[in-house]
Each structure stands twice: as C-alpha cells, then as structure tokens.
Amino acid sequence: MTNRIRKSGVTKRDFLKLTLGASVAASVPGLIAAPAIGAGLKKVRVGHGIAVIDPSVAPWDSAGATGGFWQEEGLDVEVTGFQGSALAYQALAHGDIDIAYGGTPDLMRLKEEGAPVKVVASVYDWNHNFPAVLESSPIKSIEDFRGKKIGLQSVTGAPIVFLDVLLKAHGMTRKDIAAAISVGTGAPAIQALQNGQVDVLEEWEGQYVLMESEFGVKLRKFNKDPILTKNSFVQGASTRDDLIKNDPKLVLGFLRGVAKGIILSDANPAAAARGHYEQFPRSLATNVPREEAIRKSAGTIAQNVGISIGSAKARRWGIVSGEQVDSTRDVFREADILKKSLPWQDFYDPQFLKEANNFNMDEVIKKAKSMT
C-alpha cells in the first residue's frame, strides 16, 4: 500500500488533487463506498471524516440504504471515508461531494475563510470526542497527560482540536505533552496503545465502543470533563449553500433517511450490521466469520446509536439551539482555534429538520423488526 495515508479513502496523491479542486470520484477508484442501488435515483456523494466506514457508524452512513429509506427519497447515496473532517470539508467546498460528516471546528474555520458551507443537522446528542487510556494505565487524570504521548486518527480534525481545548482548560498546551502521533483507528490504534507507542488515545465514542465490544479492550475514559460535556454542537452533517438553495429536496431526503436509519439501527442492530457489511464488504475483518462479525457489530451499533437515538425518538434529531452553537464557537475562540465570532446562523441552518423528523416512526420500527 505504498504512498497511502490509510487503507481506504483519500491517498496523499488524492489530497493534492482535492486541494486543486479535482473530482474525488475521478481520482480515487478504490474507495470504500456503498454500491449503486438502482437506475433512476439521484446520486448523492457523502464524505465522512473517518478513515474507514466501520459498523460503528452504520446508523448514519448505511442504515438509510439498508432500510430503503434513501431509495424512497429517490436517492442513491454513496459514502466515502476521509482521513479527518478537514479533508471531507475541503472536498465539500470544492464541489467534489454533496454532504460531509465532520467535526464542527473544521467547518467553522472554513467559514471564517468564506467557504459556502453550513451544518444542516447536528449529528450527535452530546460531545463524542474525548481521550481514553487502558484501564490498567497509571494515568488517572487529565493532568497526568503531561509528558505523555497521545495517539489520534490523524493530527488534523476535530479530535486534536478538542485535545487542545481540553489541555488549555487544564493549564496545558501541546508543548506540555511528549507528542501527538497519528495511529489510525481500530486495531492499529489499539496496538499502538497496548505496545506503548502512545499512552493516551484521543479519538471518539464510536471508536471506543468498537474497541470494547469487538476487540475486548478495557478502557478508562475521560468523557465527563465540563469543557467537553457543555458543548454538543460538535459533529455536523453539512452541505453547500448552493445545494440548500437549488436542491432542497435532496438535502431533506438525505436527512430524513438518516433519521429513519437511526430508528432502524436501534430497533434491529443486527439488520443494520448485516446491511452495513453488504454495502461496505471491505470493512469486514478477513479473519472473522461473517455471522460472528455481524453479531459483534450488532452490539457495537446497539451501543453507539445511543448518541443519537434520544433526539431521534423525540423527533428532534439534528436540532440544536443558536445558543448551543454560539457556546461551542466561544470555546473554540478561547482556545485560539477561531479568530472571529461569527453569528450562529453562519454555521448552522436547521430549516430541514422539522420535516426530516416527520415520518411514521411505528412503521419504521415495524419494518426494522421484520428484517433478518
């Protein structure tokens, strides 16, 4: 796998093309993506700022297709992984994709530069970015991070931003840690933690759920720090201003499919896992029998969907207040991540969410439970 940043997604070569505005679809023939679903559907290109589209993100990335919900909206959704949200948002701004899932810090920085992009749904109900160590680690507090090596998927994107925010809240900067090291996700990240290459991981809830439920790793999580818990506008489903204006049906249909997919994943996580592997077969471990992988991934999905299911069941998925957006912006300003205090309306447009949450939930649940 020479000259590759990761096993699937954007290579170094592709990054250079992205920065020049070249088409992702044309330049990356080997990306992990859902297959075409059928003729007559409108293609929607989605980028997610994670290296591999693993089963932990099935509720948002594949369940919409598993349940046929995006197809009902006339959409053929193709999801591609990126090495961090910054790359996904750059591709969005350049017009190479239509929707991007990624951390709001990178979107807010792009907005400061004048990029025509906005969050149209806040994906998670709480902040999913936080550090963790092995349960056996002597590290017991954030202050113990001083002089330690911290591993991340990459040294760009939301996790490292929240690491900076967390360190600053505890009187430190990155100069006080030994190093911030790119270790990827999943098995490589676990190996780096277990063999001492890093002392701490700074990833996100879905990855930790995957590590614990499918790899049996025991972790001590630092997810209750006030500087993290008070900010919930941290992960967005975003699009460009021109799509909001010129193709609102596409944006609404995509979001409604996601909302239904969250409900399906909660009602039948095994079906969500099976559908995910059908769409993303390369995310299936080669040394694990398929049915065992589905069983383990169902457990991962059942746990990780919790980060969105509360708002989805309340018909408020994606919705946050302007005050929540402003609060998150102010935290980033205080950490010197942002330079301006733009109004929340520059970052977030919730106009589609009332209708996106308006569907027959009982029918979705019934359909989910009928699936094998």
Model confidence pLDDT, tens digit, residues 9-66: 333 333 333 333 333 333 333 333 444 445 689 999 999 999 899 999 999 999 999 9
So what's the pLDDT on residue 135? 97
So what's the pLDDT on residue 38? 58
Q: Residues 240, 107: one domain?
A: yes
Task: Report, as an integer, the average pLDDT of 340-363.
Answer: 98
- The CA distance from 201 to 221, in Å, is 10
Rounded-to-10 torsion of CA 272, 275, 279, 281? 100
Model confidence pLDDT, tens digit, residues 61-87: 999 999 999 999 999 999 999 988 999
Do the Cβ atoms of 142 and 256 come closer than 8 Å? no
What is the CATH number for 66?
3.40.190.10
Q: Residues 170, 137: one domain?
A: yes
Do the Cβ atoms of 112 and 182 come closer than 8 Å? no
**Residue 7 belongs to a domain:** no
Q: Residues 36, 168: one domain?
A: no
- The CA distance from 127 to 133, in Å, is 18
Domain of 161, in residue numbers: 129-229
**Residue 1 belongs to a domain:** no
Tally of domains within the chain: 2
Model confidence pLDDT, tens digit, residues 176-201: 999 999 999 889 999 999 999 999 99
**Residue 60 belongs to a domain:** yes
Q: Which of 346, 319, 298, 301 is nearest to 255 (CA)?
A: 319
Q: Residues 158, 29: one domain?
A: no
For the entire predicted model, the pTM comes to: 0.83
So what's the pLDDT on residue 188? 94
**Residue 209 belongs to a domain:** yes
pLDDT of 353 > 60? The answer is yes
Q: At what angle do helices 322-334 and 158-169 cross, to 10 degrees?
A: 70
Q: Residues 219, 264: one domain?
A: no
**Residue 240 belongs to a domain:** yes
Q: Residues 172, 256: one domain?
A: no
pLDDT of 147 > 80? The answer is yes
Average pLDDT taken over every residue of the chain: 89
Region of residue 147 (phi > 0: left; psi between -120 and 50: alpha; otherwise: beta): left
Q: Residues 139, 120: one domain?
A: no
**Residue 242 belongs to a domain:** yes
- The CA distance from 17 to 251, in Å, is 26
